[in-house]
Amino acid sequence: MSDPTPQTVQDLNQLDEQTRTELEAAAFRRLLKHLDDNKDVQNIDLMILADFCRNCLSKWLMAAGEERGVSFDYDAAREHVYGMPYSEWKTHHQAKATPEQLAALEARQQGKKD
């Protein structure tokens, strides 16, 4: 069996829903792998720079499940995103936030209010 002929599109919305969903899922899995490969990137740094973190991804995963009638708890979602129980990840990979990080996060949060 040969590979299907490659398809070129100008807009991802031109793809059928299943193909687009599969591509988005693959990108999500790659994001999780990238975060797993870069455990030194702290959640607070992600929050400062991008206004989301691994915990946000966990909550978004839960929300996506709920939208589709699939229920699982926050710990299960975090374990999927972190690749291990959150408590284990926190023990081995989460550094204490520095005063500079906390100030930067507060400034970001304040900037969203202004």
Q: Give the other-Cβ count within 10 Å of 28's Cβ.
A: 15
Whole-structure pTM value: 0.86
Residue 1 has pLDDT above 60, yes or no: no
pLDDT confidence of residue 89:
97
What is the identity of the amino acid at 29?
R
Q: Distances from the Cα of 60 to the Cαs of 56, 71, 81, in angstroms?
A: 6, 13, 11
Q: Which two tokens stand for residue 103?
A: 């100030």
Residue 58 has pLDDT above 90, yes or no: yes
The pLDDT tens digits for 35-44 are: 999 999 999 9
Residue 56 has pLDDT above 60, yes or no: yes
Sign of the C-alpha dihedral computed for residues 35, 45, 72 and 27 taken in this order: negative
Q: Distances from the Cα of 64 to the Cαs of 3, 21, 49, 58, 72, in angstroms?
A: 31, 13, 24, 10, 11
Residue 3 has pLDDT above 70, yes or no: no
